[in-house]
Structure 1
């Protein structure tokens, strides 16, 4: 039977310098960008967008697998309720219930996927201002402008904000659905359904592009990068899942007792989680390998069960000198290597 791993999506950030200009018509060769920061208290990734008329700034927690965006909506003169019989309502897969009287609202099942609290919300459409990245390959300059689009999202009550980063007014759903923000952007721009998410331990970006290799961001991605396909999950079709063939520590394959597993990519879990039996095998093998490298184990610090001393660890360009973890994906030639920078959390002692 397949087991599941749950991985925080964590990559090194790419840095860019931008200038601010006045809004202008959207150029289909440009990209739309959301700047992301990591909240130090909750470890959630958050971004800011402007919604409604007048435009109000809203902080949102980024949910990679979220089925659609939802907010605690503020009064807006441009907001309108989506009718329950509309195509947009059908795409949102509203919660089935008995409508009464003249109620034409599109009610959808809205969930805070961090606290797993869910409640009924109303599907609405309103203006959203998004930063646009101008391709400056000819002039050598880059700029950000703002463009307005109409988007559908769920209006949820204040109660659903519990557990989000301080000041957050909702969640930015980027999942594999017709109503996710990425799908709505692609539909409005008649572009490919693809986007780039690049996160570090402190910041990052979510970028939507048309796939032009000449773009400023995409040219920074090496052509030699290894890719792996997404897996369709019947029970969670909106999530981003990839296959896992095996796990190796310092090149040695672990005996996990499974033929094939799954990895779910997430931005709403603070640390990697594993099924308990896999975790037990993993930590035992990791400690043995670390000990052979003269790395000393120390008392654990919550919420972690296995910690090591860094006093005699000089570190490397890829973080602390610790056993490398390889996630072998669809074949032995395709692997996700995790070095100390992304496998270790430093505990600062007072």
Structure 2
């Protein structure tokens, strides 16, 4: 009997310790988890990635780079499934994860409810015919779409483990980490040949219950804050947490003080983020947007895509206000280009105001509306999406660069700063200096 009591006391002590460990990340001094954001231009289109710690091997964390996708329903990346893991069984510098069986509820749930929206349905049907040697269960094939090529792939669902640094909003802590254990999917290395160099996965930040935010605990899951850099040499920043957030040189100014807010909308069949744009105003001219149309936010589309009627109206208005600026031949995918790009042109080209509900205004300045193509040519960085595009407006990453964005996952609101350059800072100004958290 005494032996039983000793065992019981030991178990209760372990449970108490485990609860303390779980609770610790939510106490001061850290308020968020933080990862650097890198701009990538070595693929078919500009993309943005984060670096995440994936597994702990030989006293150090292995890391992997993932594309940022705020629309993807779940995470998928380069890894292999291994049901009988033991020390030394996984190949060197390879991520091995445990499989999800096709008989488990997560498999059915993702396949039927939370899978990628594939239109047209060009993926072959998923089957339960594959297994792992010696395992005795069927693996769970799921469909995904390559964000670079648009092609279909069928990775295998798994149990995963990701780790990130913590932060107080000003710095990164050296010895304090936060871990999450999502369901993800393993694809072979060949699947990622079209991705930017060293990028071997897609990190889902959508509202899906299988995207990363759903696996975080409060208060870290309160909001996703994203700041895409406009330069290659210095990273931007991504936070999960409750804030505050600081960018140099204004080390005492919470970036949230720059934000305006608008409601996030649900859209049938999508786990991405949508807002309402009532009109687009360019100086005194307005382009009305039908009230039944939601505007999508994207980290995969490189430039804002407008339905043809909206695009033509914008080009017509900007052409009117830039009548004295010499034109250049259009450079795909852009339709309006200028010759002799000088400071004079910047002064002539008008700002573009997105008018949101309750009179809230998101201003797109020339730093986010005009793209330099060559020394002598610059273009309007909006593209024609066609007369029957699925979404009337999709706001792309060029328009999001150097804007501080906060997706409140608790209150379903979207905060935006407009260009931080107007505040004499940028997304590349987070201080990634490591400090001790004690």
Given the two structures, how large is their TM-score scaled by the length of structure 2? 0.63
Give 1:208 shift.
0.3
Question: Within the alignment, does 1:32 sit opposite 2:61 as a pair?
Answer: no
CA distance in 1, matches of 2:25, 2:195: 32
CA contact (8 A) 1:244 1:260 kept: no
Pick closer, same or farther for the CA change 1:284–1:220 going to 2, 3 Å.
Answer: same
Structure 1 residue aligned with 2:321: 289
Q: CA deviation at 1:61?
A: 1.3
1:79 equivalenced with 2:97 (yes/no): yes
CA distance in 2, matches of 1:254, 1:298: 25
Please say if residues 127 and 141 of structure 2, whose CA atoms lie closer than 8 Å, have aligned partners that are also in contact. no
Shift of the alpha carbon at 1:80?
Answer: 1.0
Displacement of 1:328 after TM fit? 1.3
User: What residue number does 2:47 align with?
Assistant: 44
Distance 1:225 1:343 in 2: 20
- In structure 2, runs of 5+ residues without a counterpart are 1-23, 81-89, 116-124, 377-438
Do structure 1's residue 313 and structure 2's residue 343 form an aligned pair?
yes
Aligned to 2:143, what secondary structure does the other structure show? strand
Partner Cα separation in structure 2 for residue 303 and residue 97 of structure 1: 35
Give the match's secondary structure for 1:244.
coil
Partner of 2:356, secondary structure, is strand
Match of 2:311 among 255, 260, 279: 279
The answer (yes or no) to whether the contact 2:55–2:63 under 8 Å persists in 1 is no
Give 5+ residue unaligned stretches, structure 1.
1-24
Distance 1:40 1:97 in 2: 33
- Partner Cα separation in structure 2 for residue 88 and residue 313 of structure 1: 56
Shift of the alpha carbon at 1:46? 1.4
TM-score calculated relative to the size of structure 1? 0.77
Match of 2:166 in 1: 132
What's the Cα RMSD here?
A: 3.0
CA gap 1:62/1:251 in 2 versus in 1, 3 angstroms: same
Report how many residues are paired: 310
Distance 2:146 2:164 in 1: 23
Aligned residue in 2 for 1:200? 229
Q: Bigger shift: 121-130 or 333-342?
A: 121-130
CA contact (8 A) 2:246 2:255 kept: no
- The DSSP-based 3-state class of the residue aligned with 1:269 is coil
User: CA–CA distance in 1 between the matches of 2:76 and 2:258?
Assistant: 37
CA contact (8 A) 1:118 1:160 kept: no
Is the alpha carbon distance of 1:229 and 1:114 closer, same or farther for their aligned partners in structure 2, counting shifts above 3 Å?
farther
Is the CA contact (8 Å cut-off) linking 1:110 and 1:156 kept in structure 2?
no
Q: 1:196 to 1:320 in 2, by over 3 A?
A: farther
Q: Distance in 1 between matches of 2:192 and 2:95?
A: 23
**1:298/1:309 contact within 8 Å kept:** yes
Structure with the higher fraction of residues in helix conformation? 2
Relative contact order (alpha carbons < 8 A, sep ≥ 6): 1 or 2 greater?
Answer: 1
Which structure would you say has the larger Rg?
A: 2
Cα distance change on mapping 1:77 and 1:63 into 2, 3 Å: closer
- Please tell me whether residue 251 in structure 1 is matched to residue 270 in structure 2: no
Matched with 1:158 is 189
CA deviation vs aligned residue, 1:284-327 (integer Å, no higher than 9, x gap): 12111222xx4332232333221123545347xxx665211111
Match for 2:72 among 66, 70, 83? 66
Residue 282 of structure 1 and its aligned partner are, at CA, apart by 1.6
1:242-299 deviations in whole A, cap 9, x for unaligned? 112111112310256x4453211111111111112221222112111222xx433223
Aligned to 2:435: none
Say which of 184, 205, 217 aligns to 2:215: 184
* 3-state DSSP of counterpart to 1:227: strand
Mapped pair 1:264 → 2:296: yes
Q: Is the 8 A contact 1:53 1:78 kept in 2?
A: no
Separation (CA, whole Å) in 2 of partners of 1:224 and 1:313: 27
